[in-house]
Amino acid sequence: MKRLAPELRKDGVELDLISLIRTILAACKDISFRVGQADLSGVLGSTLNENIQGETQKKLDILSNQLLKDMLLESGFVRAIASEEEDYIVEGEHGGRFLVAFDPLDGSSNIDVNSLTGTIFSILPVPEDKLDGTPITEQDFLQPGRNQVAAGYVMYGPSTILALTTGKGVDFYTLDKTHGSFLKTRDNIAIPEETKEFAINSSNQHKWDIPMQRYIRDILDGKAGIRGKNFNMRWIACMVGDVHRILCRGGIFTYPAHTDNPEKPNKLRLLYEANPMGMLVEQAGGLVSTGEQNILDLQPTELHERVPVILGSKQEVKICLDYHNQ
């Protein structure tokens, strides 16, 4: 049977993709409200559950995951989802041309201290040979980040902000809480190529490999050192917040591999964090790497895979990579 070509908007973006993104935003509006209510609606604190990665789940992790999962699988646009908070992929019953991988509430350690959190999402196409309804498997989610048709995050801060790319640059939308809609507030976000700002969790310094030790040491030497300028440091403990700052004013963010635990050297997840953030940063003119190769070219090998991440202002990331290539 001949399949109908998907309907497109004027700018070439699929109408179904737009409807799918609207579904994500409907769930995120609900999450934003609950994050804001906090203690008033009893959603702070931990549960007794652990996710597959051995991390204790917060009440808001579970709630946000459930909202996104239910709304996406009911939408008719999403065949299956993968989530940081789900052990396995979940397939819906209503068909659809897309797969969605998400981190429902990034920055969980910030929840109970009224600090920044966010939702990160990555949208992939259903592989051609599965469009006939053949069941989706984990393998279908293991597509390189380059295959993403859209990616973004919603940041729950003083305002609720969406950063979105459908492969044609990055735009910001702000949730107008009086009317309940996301309004475009900035377009064509461009990351400055050079920076004097870096983000790394310095408490892990003793665990970094030699290239990262050298790179950060030279930064910390400031104006008198080889870099010849003073740097500023920021760390939000929520990748959404750190990447948002970089999209706004440049910088470099890195979560390098740790040498103390060869079984589990990396923290950030490829499918739920590194790939969607990688697409956003590249679309805004920045660079993303593991230290060895571009994150978006990696062939994922498992659903909850973790990778080292270096991303941000092009020239600064290149300098960091020079230390890795030496």
Q: Supply the minimum distance, in Å, between the C-beta of residue 239 and ligand AFP.
A: 3
Q: How far is the CB of 267 from ligand AFP (least distance, A)?
A: 6
- Check the annotation: does 109 bind a ligand: yes
Question: Per CB under 6 A, does 288 bind ligand AFP?
Answer: no
CB of 105 to ligand AFP, least distance (A): 7
Site string for ligand AFP, 47-76 (x = CB under 6 A): --------x---------------------
Whole-angstrom Cα distance, residue 40 to residue 34? 9
Q: Write the CB contacts of 179 (distance below 8 Å, at least 6 apart in sequence).
A: none
Query: In whole angstroms, what is the distance from residue 274 CA to residue 309 CA?
Result: 7
Q: Site for ligand AFP (CB under 6 A): which residue of 200, 268, 295, 320?
A: 268
Measured from the CB atom, is 142 or 237 closer to ligand AFP?
237
| Residue whose CB is less far from ligand AFP, 130 or 234 | 234
Is 267 known to sit in a ligand binding site? yes
Instruction: Report which of 120, 170, 145 is spatially closest to residue 293, judged by C-alpha positions.
Output: 145
Query: Is 106 annotated as contributing to ligand binding?
Result: yes
Which residue's CB is nearer to ligand AFP, number 77 or number 102? Answer: 102
Q: Which of 279, 235, 236 is nearest to 107 (CA)?
A: 236
User: Measured from the CB of residue 179, what is the shortest distance to ligand AFP in angstroms?
Assistant: 30
Q: Is 108 in the site for ligand AFP (CB under 6 A)?
A: yes
What span, in angstroms and rounded, lies between the C-alpha atoms of 289 and 297?
9
d(CA 89, CA 68) in angstroms, rounded, equals: 13
Indicate whether 96 belongs to the interface with ligand AFP (CB under 6 A): no
Candidates 31-39, 103-111, 123-131, 310-318: pick the segment binding ligand AFP (CB under 6 A).
103-111
**92, 96, 107, 145: which one contacts ligand AFP (CB under 6 A)?**
107
Site for ligand AFP in 207-246 (CB under 6 A): 237-239
Among 14, 16, 85, 106, binds ligand AFP (CB under 6 A): 106
Position 201 contacts ligand AFP (CB under 6 A): yes
**Shortest distance (Å) from residue 66 CB to ligand AFP:** 16
Total residues at the site for ligand AFP (CB under 6 A)? 12
Nearer to ligand AFP, 77 or 141 (CB): 141
* Residues in CB range of 203: below 8 A, 6 or more apart: none
- Where does this chain bind ligand AFP (CB under 6 A)? 55, 103, 106-108, 201, 237-239, 255, 267-268
Annotated binding site for substrate: which residue ranges?
106-109, 201, 267
